[in-house]
Structure 1
Amino acid sequence: MTNVQTAGRRGRPQSNREVSYNLAGQRLGRKGQETRERILSAMLRLLADPQGPPVNLTNVAREASVRLTNLYLYFPDFGDLLLAALARVMETADEAFVDLLRPRWPDERLRECALAFLRAHYQFWRTHARLLHMRNRLSDDDARILEHRQRTTFPMLDLLIGQMDCPPDPPDARWRLMATVVLTGFERMATVVTTPHFNPLGETRKGAGTDGHIDALIQTEARLMELAIRDARALPGARSAVAAVA
């Protein structure tokens, strides 16, 4: 495997699909596993509906048809339940968009590859916007959620650094800084354009013209991403620059 293909596999969040005990110390049998899964599925259903009721433990218990006291046996607080939902959703991130960063993008197709990646990244955010916005908001106050957010971000940063032909072991600060700025840019843009009331054109009809405006923003971001990668690949010491001299 190339450096870009192997980068980013460190720190990949583990699935919490299998949990052996509840908080009372009781081993979960088939019924307990089914109850826990029912609660988690109810949480995911509520999160999938941007117009739905507030996502809190009371409404999740109601949606799952379990008593709130029983829910606490599996998830002691909202942060634990949110982490379980994040783990389930982030299992799909590689296939949805991250894997597009693994093969080295050819120089002659940089913008095309960047655009495909950014469109896939946006679609993932659009599908899971309520969950991801909640993650970002709560990570300011919950160290567990902040750690999870970092664990899912750092591998993508590694892949971007590799995409820029940074020499390995350890990554040079010049490439890391460039990759950090690029990643921060498209993550922030996805955060902004997936807010419920995003309406940059000021149209009175909700959503009028918004999709086209968002795609124009994504295309502009792809251009900036292309320029950043091309610039980084030309730095002295880059693998591509060294190969060109050789």
Structure 2
Amino acid sequence: MGDYANYLVPERYRIDAPERTDMERRMIGWMQKNGWLKPGKKGKHPQIINEEGWGVTARGSRHMHPLEFHQMRIEGKVRWMREQGNLTGPEDRPQLTPKGMLKVYGSGGPDAVSRPFSVESWLEEKGALGGVAVEVVAEGKGVFTSLGAGLDEVTCPKCGASIVEQFVEMVATWCTAEGYPLVPCPECGAASEIRDYKMSMPWGFSQIGFAFWNTVGDLSEDFVAEFAAELGEPVRRVFLKL
């Protein structure tokens, strides 16, 4: 599938530098305090597009997503490791084979099958449960788009007309305009907030975005609501695919 992210983007257009810094400190601190994040490691998630970031823990993965998404990732990896001859033992107590020891730790040995092994903990350690990065637009207006995830439809909130072919130009005009003006619909002429145009893949319009890179699936509605409540304002979820 390639790299992908679920962004949580505040609905406010302008957030000044001191408040952006405070937002990052509060939200990352909140997630770390709950045991959902740990400092990222160089060369592992979330070191994507050269961003500093934090790794999602197994506890965080279970909390941030519908539980079945997390379980599917773990169970899928267990099945693959058994097929490759890296795991043996009962389902509730898998153990590494000598081949698995070599794969996981770079060394094998006859004691491999005597060691309990947690696939979940291993995936957390290697960064395979994803990571979180905070992206800031320091100057000008911020636009977080869906990129490779596509934008198949955009409609006017006033007349319902399809304006997908004109929308990118409308956003570009809004970005270069003074202030945060309403943007007229090219079909009916009625002006609306740029964020109120209805998009098949929502875009975010703000100067800060919290990116959840390569996690086990979509963020749950409960977690998004919890995040917004902790932030103290509404957020928009933006799916991005590279």
Indicate whether the TM-score tops 0.5: no
Q: Which has the higher strand share?
A: 2
TM-score (norm 2): 0.27
Whose relative contact order is higher, 1 or 2, with alpha carbons under 8 Å and at least 6 apart? 2
Of Structure 1 and Structure 2, which has the larger fraction of its residues in helix? 1
* TM-score with structure 1 setting the length: 0.27
Instruction: Find the structure with the greater CA-based Rg.
Output: 2
